[in-house]
Amino acid sequence: MRALALTLSLISLASSQAAMAADAACLAPREATAVASYALPSVIAGTSQRCSPVLGKDAYLTREGMKLSARYGPGKAAAWPAAKAALLKMGGAGDMTDAVRKLPDATVQPLVDGLVTSMVVEQMPTDRCSSIDRALWLLSPLPPENTAELIALSLGLMAQGKNPRIGRIAICKG
Amino acid sequence: MKAAFRTAAGLAALISTTAQAAEPACFTRAEVNSLIAYALPVVMDPMIASCRPHLASDAYLLSGGQRISEVLAARKDTEWKAAKAAVMRVWGGSKELDMPDNVLQASLNEKVTKELAGKLKASECKDISAIAAKLSPLSPDQLVDLAGEIIVVAVRDRKSKAGAMICQAN
């Protein structure tokens, strides 16, 4: 969830105007799911980079992290249109968002991927590496599409709660 | 879904009814897993019965969920011993725990069944079945491990009884 929050905060890094929009807007569970599905490979790759030195050579992330990231890669293309729309929504109206909207996907995608990875590498608290390593190992037998659907179900349930949020990003109430 | 959580909490509360105030001792990950492995079929059987009227006959919970429950129930004697030993170690003894195991187990089953009977809504049953279906590639042991990990992470750093109950070193 922390990784998802980092991902959803991407646009708010881009400008203060976008940050204000991120506070005001909410993402529907399906929008947040699309962002999560698109960003998962980069999040896993970033987590591997961040945590491998802390966890040591025998850890799951050290041994299999990049392979796991690659396994989730094929789902990115299908998730991208909805993920892009959600990220632009979080950006709110403004010149920066308009500029990003006009850029070709081939330009925006590597930018988003790099930002997600570097944010995880820079901001993931290393005292969580052990738990994340174990959770990813436990979830690794699941096909990527199952993981995406579990995220969607979890966000849908979260949206039924009181004041649903992931970090500073609000999830629209269901 | 909330009913399932209430049931799990009720199960723990029942065991600790007359237990003393929290000791510095805490449940290790292995003990958490034993508690879950014992509790899952205890919760799942009445959950499945309660959900049956709300679900299509081919819903995953009614088939795959039942299989998982049966696999775990087949070793309930082993898990019971480990779970009870963990409860005794962490919470200390009580009159209720001094009962014969079969009486105590029957009492737990009855209370959980009563808690769940007819209380799960159709939407909750569909959510439970959908989540169970997505987790179906995991073995029962992997499911227990995953549930244990979720609990350990959920209570970590919480300044509550639940937080103190699970060893932070887990």
Asked if B156 and B168 count as a contact pair (C-beta separation under 8 A), the reply is yes
The predicted-structure confidence for B29-52, as pLDDT tens digits, reads as follows 999 999 999 999 999 999 999 999
Tens-digit pLDDT profile for residues B17-26: 434 444 458 8
pLDDT the model gives residue B19:
45
pLDDT of residue B13: 52
Name, in order, each residue with C-beta under 8 angstroms of A34's C-beta and a sequence gap of 6 or more: A79, A81, A82, A83, A85, A86
Q: Supply the pLDDT for residue B51.
A: 95
Q: Give the pLDDT mean for A52-56.
A: 96
Judged against a pLDDT cut of 80, whether residue A75 lies above it is answered with yes
Confidence of residue A91 (pLDDT cuts 50, 70, 90): confident
Task: Give yes or no for A138 touching B (CB within 8 A).
Answer: yes
Average pLDDT of every residue of chain A: 85
Confidence bin at A170 (pLDDT 50/70/90): confident
> What's the whole-model pTM score?
0.78
Q: Which of A1, A153, A154, A155 to mutate to test the interface with B (most CBs of B within 10 A)?
A: A153
Instruction: Give pLDDT tens digits for B75-86.
Output: 988 999 999 899
Among B18, B9, B52, CA closest to B160: B9
Under 8 Å between Cβ of A128 and A2: yes
Q: Which helix (H) or strand (E) holds A26?
A: strand A26-27
How close is the nearest chain B Cα to the Cα of A20, in Å?
30
Q: Residue A17 pLDDT more than 50?
A: no
Contacts of residue B149 in chain A, CB cutoff 8 Å? 131, 134-135, 138
Torsion of CA A118, A123, A129, A134, to 10 degrees: -70
A153 touches chain B (CB under 8 A): yes
Contact flag A153-B131 (C-beta cutoff 8 Å): yes
CB of A131 within 8 Å of any CB in chain B? yes
- In chain B, the residue whose alpha carbon lies closest to the alpha carbon of A145 is B134
pLDDT at residue A45 greater than cutoff 70: yes
Chain B residues touching residue A146 (CB < 8 angstroms): 134-135, 137
For residues A22-41, give the mean pLDDT: 85
Q: Cβ-count burial of B123 within 10 angstroms (0-12 exposed, 13-18 middle, 19+ buried)?
A: exposed
Render pLDDT for A126-137 as a digit per residue (tens, 0 to 9): 998 999 999 999
Distance from C-alpha of A26 to C-alpha of A156, rounded to nearest angstrom: 13
* Most confident by average pLDDT, A74-88, A150-164, B110-124: A74-88
Query: What gap in Å lies between CA B27 and CA A133, rounded to an integer?
Result: 21
Tell me the C-alpha distance between A112 and A30, whole Å.
19
Grade residue A68 by pLDDT with cuts at 50, 70 and 90: very high
Chain A: residue whose CA lies nearest to B153: A131
Using the Cβ of A1 and the Cβ atoms of chain B, whether some distance falls under 8 Å is answered with no
